[in-house]
Structure 1
């Protein structure tokens, strides 16, 4: 008789697989990584791996969803009662989000971006993920607008897109070796300028 597998155990195995995929994609690139390398890294059989994920694209989609969940948690912590708190917390967002993301995640996204020029499935995943990020940030900005911290006449969809693009640009700078102190300061100054001009 097989022991019952708990939902907690399934979550732990899923997390191990995702972490192994991040490490493999980050070290070897999305294209060169094979599913059996991920199963080996996660110390699982290939059969177990395929019970959770059909292919590398499915795995990358799970990485995207985890990143989106983390973004929602971070933005939730920015809900404040005063405009000054909003700006100071937003200044800290870059550093906090970078610390909480699993190591190598940013590199994996850029690996996937490069590969997506040749992989339509990956391109679709990235496209849909980007739209979800825009919507999450836009919804957060709408809450701030409803609280009176942002003018109601602002087009928040474009503001959200600009903030996400700013974050991605600074993350790119970090990946190519621009010092983190400079990146943090760039984010703090730029996000303050953006939010200050929304009132």
Structure 2
């Protein structure tokens, strides 16, 4: 029986989906082509009919999912404290990190710290720059609207964005590296409080700074 016209496209997408899930969970070095193809329910021999190398697949799987990520949705969301802090609470969540079916490509920031692969470092830098730009855009807009307790100054905004990313990535990286669940949760909770305090918002992640009223 001949294959449907879109068989090759659907097969390629299966490989991409499997790769994205594994790469985002475990990082480039801890994922093999065999594991990717096993998850896709295909043989290793079929891999090279669709991708030149694991590096090429990694690069494509990260970039192909940028539009579907939580940070991409943040870029299109209304300008509110709630939408901004949702990014923090989404990422600082062990259940999400361990069990999500479609982790976002920003997970590269958690998994590829210090990678020695030139291609992976480039993807890492692109992911970092992308997240920082979106955060800066959000912070600037909210500061101009008077919803944050600091000025919409370029240097201040840049430093806030860097600090948020450093706290977020560092906390998740540490939490993923230890086995004690109670300590994992304490690390993530402490980082969340630190980030919200940095933004000057209430711990319910939805209040205007200093007001306690939900926005």
Common topology (TM > 0.5)? yes
Which one of the candidate residues 55, 75, 81 is aligned to 2:53?
Answer: 55
Summarize the Cα distance change of 1:130–1:50 in structure 2 as closer, same or farther, 3 Å threshold. farther
Deviation larger for 136-145 or 10-19: 10-19
Q: Distance in 2 between matches of 1:71 and 1:121?
A: 23
Cα contact 2:37–2:47 (8 A) shared by 1: yes
Return closer, same or farther for 1:46/1:104 CA change in 2, 3 Å cut-off: same
Structure 2 matches for 1:7-156, cutoff 5 A? 11-21=13-23, 26=26, 30-31=28-29, 33-46=31-44, 48-65=46-63, 66=65, 69-73=68-72, 75=74, 79=78, 81=80, 85=82, 89=86, 92-95=89-92, 99=96, 101-102=100-101, 112-114=112-114, 116-117=115-116, 119-150=117-148, 151-153=151-153, 155=155, 156=157
Query: Aligned in 2, Cα 1:61/1:187: closer, same or farther, shift over 3 Å?
Result: same
Q: Which residue of 1 aligns with 2:212?
A: none
CA distance in 2, matches of 1:99, 1:32: 20
Structure 2 match to 1:157: 158
> Hey, which of these two has a bigger chunk of helix by percent?
1
Go from structure 1 to structure 2 and tell me whether the alpha carbon gap of 1:143 and 1:18 turns closer, same or farther (over 3 Å shift): same
TM-superposition CA deviations, 1:22-45 (whole Å, max 9, x none): 56xx3xx74475434432342224
Greater CA drift, 6-15 or 121-130: 6-15
Change (3 A) 1:138 1:38: same
Moved more, 68-77 or 123-132: 68-77
CA contact (8 A) 1:36 1:46 kept: yes
**How many residues get paired?**
190
Q: Distance in 2 between matches of 1:136 and 1:98?
A: 25
Please list the CA deviations of residues 45-72 of structure 1 after superposition, one character each: whole Å capped at 9, or x if unmatched.
4464335433222233245333674232
In the superposition, the TM-score normalised over structure 2's length comes to: 0.65
Consecutive unaligned residues in structure 1, runs of 5 or more? none
**Partners of 1:176 and 1:21 in 2: how far apart?**
16
Aligned to 1:4: 5
Whole-Å separation in 2 of the counterparts to 1:33 and 1:185:
29
CA contact (8 A) 2:132 2:165 kept: yes
